[in-house]
């Protein structure tokens, strides 16, 4: 099975990692659209255009069977249109894991970290409205995180500025007793350790990488795809990318597969 995955940068590789552990034989083509990063501060129209450009490239160049939008912001802006325009593809999106957070939280005080565009997006608002209607006793503490994606893209995971940004956003949540935190961007699991330093080790963190991977696996089986070949991950980037961060994410496990990294323009 040939799977196309894209994000504005390295964040979506957290989803790729999960896919490689769930679909052992998939060939993955990942696009880090670093030239246009971050998506979270762009307009819906801009994100929609880039999403279609990337989808068309992956179909024409790599003949993909499935497309994974490994970005909450791009999912909010483009998933509906992508599914309508490419009915032959399995299309899987990403959205903040509010529902599993509601099930896990003991005091029903849930924090959400996300990009500005995700929080403003129609898809996110619809999700919140639906869940809030069914569970009125839930209290959500939403926080947009401008600048955090750039810090992570630059490999500044343990940088003082990154810590101070997170501390400023998380302190009110900690003071209000938030016990479960939704990481509403695929970049954010990469600063999990810093979040735990601020919120405490007992904080419940919800990320969606494995949920996406398992959804992709189920849909691929339903469509008759088999994943018995050799695992291969191809990482393409459109501009500068932090190679050390790619290695940190994908080489942190031993899956025996091949990893190739190259500039998409070469």
Global pTM exceeds 0.75: yes
Per-residue model confidence as pLDDT tens digits over 48-61:
999 999 999 999 99
User: What pLDDT does residue 254 have?
Assistant: 47
User: What pLDDT does residue 40 have?
Assistant: 85
Q: Could you tell me which of 123, 130, 29, 141 has the C-alpha nearest to residue 73?
A: 123
Question: What is the C-alpha to C-alpha distance for residues 157 and 163, in angstroms, rounded to an integer?
Answer: 8
Tokens (6 digits) for 116: 């500005």
Give, as one character, the DSSP assignment of residue 35: G
Per-residue model confidence as pLDDT tens digits over 105-159:
999 999 999 998 889 888 888 888 887 777 668 899 999 999 999 999 999 999 9
Catalytic residues: 71, 185
Question: What is the C-alpha to C-alpha distance for residues 74 and 198, in angstroms, rounded to an integer?
Answer: 29
Give, as one character, the DSSP assignment of residue 88: T
Q: Could you tell me which of 188, 179, 202, 240 has the C-alpha nearest to residue 32?
A: 240
Question: What is the C-alpha to C-alpha distance for residues 67 and 109, in angstroms, rounded to an integer?
Answer: 34
**Partners of 113 in the β-ladder:** 143, 183
Q: What is the mean pLDDT of residues 38-46?
A: 89
Tokens (6 digits) for 203: 């904080």
């Amino acid at each position: 099975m040939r799977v196309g995955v894209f994000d504005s940068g390295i964040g979506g590789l957290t989803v790729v990692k999960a896919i490689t552990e769930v679909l052992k034989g998939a060939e993955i083509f990942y696009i880090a659209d670093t030239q246009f990063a971050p998506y979270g501060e762009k307009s819906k129209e801009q994100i929609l255009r880039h999403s279609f450009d990337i989808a068309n490239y992956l179909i024409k160049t790599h003949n993909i069977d499935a497309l994974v939008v490994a970005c909450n912001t791009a999912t909010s802006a483009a998933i509906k249109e992508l599914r309508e325009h490419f009915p032959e593809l399995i299309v899987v999106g990403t959205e903040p894991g509010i529902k599993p957070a509601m099930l896990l939280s003991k005091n029903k005080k849930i924090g959400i970290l996300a990009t500005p565009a995700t929080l403003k997006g129609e898809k996110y608002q619809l999700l919140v409205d639906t869940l809030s209607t069914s569970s009125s006793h839930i209290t959500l503490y939403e926080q947009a995180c401008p600048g955090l994606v750039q810090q992570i893209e630059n490999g500044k995971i343990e940088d003082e500025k990154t810590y101070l940004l997170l501390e400023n956003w998380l302190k009110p949540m900690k003071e209000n007793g938030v016990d479960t935190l939704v990481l509403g961007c695929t970049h954010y699991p990469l600063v999990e350790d810093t979040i735990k330093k601020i919120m405490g080790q007992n904080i419940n963190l919800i990320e969606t990488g494995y949920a996406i991977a398992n959804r992709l696996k189920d849909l691929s089986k339903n469509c008759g795809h088999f994943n018995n070949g050799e695992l291969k991950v191809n990482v393409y980037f459109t501009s500068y990318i932090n190679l050390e961060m790619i290695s940190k994410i994908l080489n942190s496990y031993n899956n025996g597969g091949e990893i190739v990294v190259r500039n998409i323009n070469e």
